[in-house]
Amino acid sequence: MHLHILGICGTFMGSLALLARDMGFDVSGSDAGVYPPMSTQLEEAGIVLREGYAASNLDPRPDRVVIGNALSRGNPEVEAVLDRGLTYVSGPQWLAEQVLPGRRVIAVAGTHGKTTTASLLAWLLESSGLEPGFLIGGVPRNFGVSARLGGQGAPFVVEADEYDTAFFDKRSKFVHYRPDIAILGNLEFDHADIFDDLTAIERQFHHLVRTVPGRGRLLVADGEPALERVLEMGCWTPVERFGNQSASAWRFELEREDASRFRVIHQQGDTDEDAVIDWSLTGTYNARNALAALAGAHACGVDLARGCAALARFETPRRRQEVRGEVAGIQVIDDFAHHPTAIAATLEGLRAATSRGRLLAVIEPRSNTMRLGTLRSRLAESVASADQSFWYQPSGIDWSLESMLAEIPASSHLVEDIDALVQALVAEAKPLDRIVVMSNGGFGGIHERLLAALEAAHG
């Protein structure tokens, strides 16, 4: 059966393509502006990619077309699908119909940390011999792929996104998954292009809560007022909380300030069990991600001590504090941070782990929320932990970053050309500095260009 995927290089759709190929489908797809790591992953899997959207991409006629949520009416390939009367479906619906039936589904939801938490959870299940399937919006380096079917009947971990499903289905993606276990990691305003306010997103999260059965489990972060409001709308499933509040079933105590070592305490009735995590990640937000993953794995039968030991071997997903290279003692780090809260948390964690040298933040405000300027009042404070910040103003953004930069106490720079940005970074960077590049897109291949320029300057 020939399956053709529109928007195949998106993290979700590319992962879907890998699952379909492993199920025996003949898979092809089209996209515009493809970039690694997804394009590389698909090419290595032997999946045919067609650059750009055109009616000719639908020849020969596919049996079914899966349409990504980045596609809308007016797109030439979408119009051809409709005009030719082809059978089409959204990605989340295809996953729900073809992959998830008969599996114990664990959905990882939240504004931030979904990819890391889902990767942690999949690794914990794998380390315990459960052979999980998964679909994650990134590439977990412990697995090398963003999706796999896993063992027959094994648990399936899915990164559960609140963004809408498709141009013909405006519900959040995660309502399709019907999970047995749902992790709610945090919740704040995002996706200003489709949601009017936080209340609208809370309503979608409650739609997810409604789908979790009474025999299932909700794992909910403590200290999150928006999540508490979601539960107040109605809850029919046992709830366990995780975080650092004393009443939570899962909590942590730092043993190093940068959260690279901490103790996990799991309270069950009147008894506690505990174990220590000593790993390569930093930041209290990653400690919370680990708690969520441990709670999810424990619900699937994974022992706490064994799970904590496995996390010592965990590698961050691609583009999550990923060290892309080091030249002359200058480290280049790639991070997917796409929201002021995520930017601040990443930089705070790296600051705590940086004893020598400076932290230079490089930011492309590329997400729809940041491009619209909805959260621009919070952008200046998000880089408080950086010694200097470099801001790239991409074309198509309808507000200027210049006035915002005046509010940043540390040195800041505004650049409108990537070559000029690379030159400025090379001129500024010194041995022991860490350059953190933050974008949810390809950023014009800046990582490779920066490393090459540093090599030329210091080689």
Annotated ligand binding at 113? The verdict is: yes
Rounded Cα distance between 149 and 176, Å, is: 18
193: its two tokens: 């292009």
CA atoms within 13 A of residue 316's CA, in its CB half-sphere = 21
**H or E element: which one contains 273?**
strand 271-278
Rounded Cα distance between 253 and 345, Å, is: 18
H-helix segments, 34-90 = 38-44, 76-83
In whole angstroms, how far apart are CA 84 and each of 4, 31, 59, 63? 14, 20, 11, 12
Is-contact 125 155, C-beta < 8 A?
yes
Annotated ligand binding at 269? The verdict is: no
| The three-state (H, E, C) secondary structure of 100-135, written as one string | CCCCCEEEEECCCCHHHHHHHHHHHHHHCCCCCEEE
Backbone torsions φ then ψ of 361, nearest 5 degrees: -95, 135
Backbone torsions φ then ψ of 3, nearest 5 degrees: -110, 125
Query: Which residues lie closer than 8 Å to 322 by C-beta, 6 or more apart?
Result: 141, 316, 333, 334, 335
CA atoms within 13 A of residue 275's CA, in its CB half-sphere = 17
Q: Edge-to-edge strand order for the sheet containing 434-438?
A: 322-327, 330-335, 434-438, 359-363, 388-392, 411-415
Annotated ligand binding at 110? The verdict is: yes
Query: Which residues lie closer than 8 Å to 261 by C-beta, 6 or more apart?
Result: 254, 255, 276, 277, 278, 279
β-pair type (434-438, 2-6): unpaired
266: its two tokens: 């799991």
- Residues making up the annotated binding site for ATP are 110-116
- Residues making up the annotated binding site are 110-116
